């Protein structure tokens, strides 16, 4: 056994983390600070990513910046009542992470593959947050393509907002939502017969 393999986690630990992770809807403070968030992102960036293009960026939104983003999104709402609800959604967690897809022109790595890499990073980040005791949930977010939201976040012409990770501390006493193990037999097929 090499020294490098000594530092790898036990497979069962990773599987337990994956099987027990749940989206946490009700969140309160605190949330990860800048140093921990950078560490989490560095770990999440190891997710599958052909060519290591890292075709994404993350915008951390906290404090009054959530209010201002909520106001920008509310401008896109068709009614005043809906605008008020849209603005409030931006205050449901102490930290919002805007997930921005930044596709790159590449001769052999198509856009769909870069989007898959971005999704893999976000999923890995959610898993890492959960393992460290933070709560998180990925929501598409209200009006992610609205010009007001794009301008407020400074999105470039080819960038796409994939929604937000809402991050914070799970509200004490909230029961974890149970998820039944999926029956995936119909989702698996073999060509050439099953291996032993």
- Going by the annotation, the residues of the binding site for FMN are 21-23, 50, 138-140
Q: What are the structure tokens assigned to 113, written together?
A: 């593959």
Dump the DSSP string for 3-56: HHHHTSPPHHHHHHHHHH-----SEES----HHHHHHHHHHHTTS--GGG---E
Q: Are 51 and 105 in contact (CB under 8 A)?
A: no
Nearest partner of 179 among 39, 47, 21, 54, judged by Cα: 21
CA–CA gap between residue 100 and residue 59 (Å, rounded):
8
CA dihedral 39, 44, 49, 51 (to 10 degrees): 0
What residues form the annotated binding site? 21-23, 50, 138-140
């Amino acid at each position: 056994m090499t020294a490098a393999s000594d530092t790898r986690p036990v497979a069962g630990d990773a599987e337990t983390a994956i099987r027990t992770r749940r989206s946490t809807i009700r969140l309160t403070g605190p949330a990860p600070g800048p140093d921990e968030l950078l560490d989490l992102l560095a770990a999440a960036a190891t997710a599958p990513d052909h060519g290591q293009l890292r075709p994404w960026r993350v915008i951390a939104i906290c404090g009054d910046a959530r209010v201002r983003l909520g106001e920008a999104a509310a401008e896109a709402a068709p009614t005043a009542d809906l605008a008020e609800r849209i603005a409030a959604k931006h205050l449901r967690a102490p930290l919002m992470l805007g997930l921005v897809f930044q596709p790159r022109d590449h001769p052999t790595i198509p856009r769909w593959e870069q989007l898959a890499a971005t999704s893999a990073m976000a999923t890995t980040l959610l898993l890492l947050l959960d393992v460290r005791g933070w709560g998180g949930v990925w929501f598409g977010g209200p009006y992610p393509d609205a010009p007001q939201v794009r301008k407020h976040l400074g999105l470039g012409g080819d960038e796409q907002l994939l929604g937000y990770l809402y991050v914070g501390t799970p509200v004490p006493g909230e029961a974890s939502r149970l998820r039944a193990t999926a029956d995936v037999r119909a989702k698996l097929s073999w060509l050439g017969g099953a291996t032993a």
